[in-house]
């Protein structure tokens, strides 16, 4: 054997090893994390694409409205605004738009945001009253001011000044009746804690209870109220969130057989522009003035043209603490697939908050999509060039339940009539 041949024989294993290492590095950069496997049926999406939380005629109709905006030559922001506006006008499951989720005082208020992944600008409104078009108001904040978030009466005044119509109230006869029955039921459940009278037993008005040893409750009744209130906190959140998903008993179902929660939407154009948004009337029976994640960029939705977008639904107070959509987009930036990024974000929350109920959807700038859920059955709507403009439903098995070691698309179906 010649010297040249012997060197080739010696170097061949090293060259093969280097090639394998390079291939592994490329696979990792492409998001092929060994801990996560993206379902094959989400890998063939073709731009443009619209993805939003929840499915069925109303939420699927929102996806169709967004798709129609894109097909008419509109921008991704137009698509997100029109999709969310459809859900607001149709009052999907009474958890989006006017006439749903009355607060402790019986009033309905709205939260919404839109985000442009090109400019990285966002606009949002919180605790919006008397104006029905929350997503449009959020876009006005982004485009007609240099602010990102307006709240309360001032948000309403701004929206009206920019041309939106003010109503006497966002309540309806239906929402007032829901509130009346809640009061008759001793205001159960609610979001109060550390107050007297005991919020697990009665309505307010409430007063704060002492929270330190040096100022212990002065009366036995206050001691009992404090203990009951302390245990009540997380349980109340769980009860209220569970009222919005289809594991409820029939007598608990309000207002429909398929009540859900916030709509969050991501749209990606044929040239890769990304926008995201969210709209909700918040947690039912909330403390007046409460702001949910649908008004918080990174909490309810997030978009970045360099990466993709995300939308969330579920326990908005927990989402504000964890900002799952910001995490999802940053995880995709690191190379994780949309499915892997969604799972990572939901697992992080569930590990710290075991009672968490919620879900996220993730969409990459090239149109791949995935989702993860915890504590409930979840589904989302997709319409894209790959589906020929037909709205498809993707069912997602929740994480952490028997027989569901990881989140995934259990089934894809086409919405009838869309």
In this prediction, residue 304 carries a pLDDT of 98
Q: Which residues neighbour 128 within 8 Å (Cβ) at sequence distance 6 or greater? A: 109, 110, 111, 112, 134, 137, 151, 152, 155, 156, 159
HSE (side-chain half, CA atoms, 13 Å) at 210: 11
User: How would you write 2-52 as a 3-class SS string?
Assistant: CHHHHHHHHHHHHHHHHHHHHHHHHHHHCCCCCCCCCCHHHCCCCCCEEEE
Q: How far apart are the first and last CA of the chain?
A: 71
In this prediction, residue 185 carries a pLDDT of 97
Span 289-309, pLDDT tens digits: 999 999 999 999 999 999 999
Contact 50, 63 (CB under 8 A): yes
Supply φ then ψ for residue 358, to 5 degrees. Answer: 175, -175
Q: What angle do CA 314, 205, 282 make, to 5 degrees?
A: 20
CA neighbor of 362 nearest in space, from 399, 407, 405: 407
In this prediction, residue 46 carries a pLDDT of 83
Is it the case that residue 202 has pLDDT exceeding 70?
Answer: yes
Contact 333, 302 (CB under 8 A): no
Is 95 an annotated catalytic residue? no
* The pair of three-digit structure tokens given for residue 359, joined into one six-digit string: 């879900």
In this prediction, residue 400 carries a pLDDT of 79
pLDDT confidence bin for 251, thresholds 50/70/90: very low
> In what helix (H) or strand (E) does residue 265 lie, and over which residues does it extend?
strand 263-268
Across 156-181, average pLDDT: 97
This prediction has a pTM of 0.81
Of 156-165, 173-182, 221-230, give the lowest mean pLDDT range. 221-230
In this prediction, residue 414 carries a pLDDT of 58
In this prediction, residue 73 carries a pLDDT of 98
* The pair of three-digit structure tokens given for residue 12, joined into one six-digit string: 């061949």
pLDDT confidence bin for 413, thresholds 50/70/90: low
In this prediction, residue 195 carries a pLDDT of 97
DSSP states along 180-216: HHHHHTTS-S----SEES-TTT-----EEPP-SGGG-
Tell me the CA distances in angstroms from 60 to 56, 90, 138, 294, 399, one per residue in order.
Answer: 5, 12, 22, 19, 24
Q: What is the mean pLDDT of the chain?
A: 82
Work out the percent of the chain whose per-residue pLDDT is above 90. 72
Work out the percent of the chain whose per-residue pLDDT is above 70. 73
In this prediction, residue 15 carries a pLDDT of 36
HSE (side-chain half, CA atoms, 13 Å) at 43: 9
In this prediction, residue 55 carries a pLDDT of 95
Of 208-212, 249-253, 389-393, give the lowest mean pLDDT range. 249-253
In this prediction, residue 412 carries a pLDDT of 63
* The pair of three-digit structure tokens given for residue 333, joined into one six-digit string: 């930036």
Catalytic residue among 42, 262, 318, 418: 262
């Amino acid at each position: 054997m010649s010297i040249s041949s012997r060197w080739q024989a010696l170097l061949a294993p090293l060259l093969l090893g280097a090639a394998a290492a390079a291939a592994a590095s490329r696979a990792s950069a492409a998001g092929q994390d060994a801990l996560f496997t993206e379902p094959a049926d989400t890998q063939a999406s073709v731009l443009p694409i619209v993805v939003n939380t929840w499915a069925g005629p109303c939420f699927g109709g929102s996806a169709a409205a967004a798709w129609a905006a894109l097909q008419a030559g509109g921008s991704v922001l137009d698509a997100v605004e029109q999709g969310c506006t459809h859900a607001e006008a149709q009052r999907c499951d009474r958890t989006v738009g006017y006439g749903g989720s009355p607060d402790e005082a019986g009033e309905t208020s709205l939260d919404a945001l839109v985000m442009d992944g090109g400019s990285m600008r966002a606009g949002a409104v919180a605790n919006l009253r008397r104006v029905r078009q929350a997503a449009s108001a959020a876009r006005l904040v982004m485009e007609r001011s240099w602010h990102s978030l307006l709240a309360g009466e001032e948000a309403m005044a701004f929206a009206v000044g920019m041309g939106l119509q003010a109503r006497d109230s966002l309540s309806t006869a239906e929402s007032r009746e829901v509130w009346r029955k809640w009061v008759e039921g001793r205001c159960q459940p609610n979001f109060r804690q550390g107050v007297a009278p005991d919020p697990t037993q009665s309505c307010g008005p409430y007063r704060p209870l002492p929270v330190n040893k040096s100022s212990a409750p002065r009366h036995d009744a206050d001691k009992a109220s404090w203990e009951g209130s302390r245990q009540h906190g997380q349980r109340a959140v769980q009860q209220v969130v569970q009222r919005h998903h289809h594991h409820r008993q029939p007598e608990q179902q309000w207002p429909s057989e398929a009540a859900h929660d916030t709509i969050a939407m991501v749209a990606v154009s044929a040239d890769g522009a990304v926008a995201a948004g969210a709209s909700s009337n918040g947690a039912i029976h909330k403390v007046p003035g409460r702001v949910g994640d649908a008004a918080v960029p990174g909490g309810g939705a997030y978009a970045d043209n360099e990466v993709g977008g995300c939308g969330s639904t579920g326990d908005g107070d927990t989402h504000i603490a964890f900002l799952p959509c910001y995490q999802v987009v940053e995880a995709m930036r690191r190379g994780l697939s949309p499915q892997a990024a969604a799972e990572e974000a939901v697992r992080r929350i569930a590990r710290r908050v075991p009672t968490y109920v919620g879900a996220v959807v993730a969409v990459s700038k090239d149109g791949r999509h995935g989702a993860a859920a915890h504590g409930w059955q979840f589904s989302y709507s997709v319409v894209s060039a790959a589906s020929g403009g037909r709205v498809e439903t993707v069912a997602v098995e929740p994480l952490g339940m028997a027989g569901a070691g990881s989140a995934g698309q259990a089934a894809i179906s086409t919405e009838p009539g869309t």
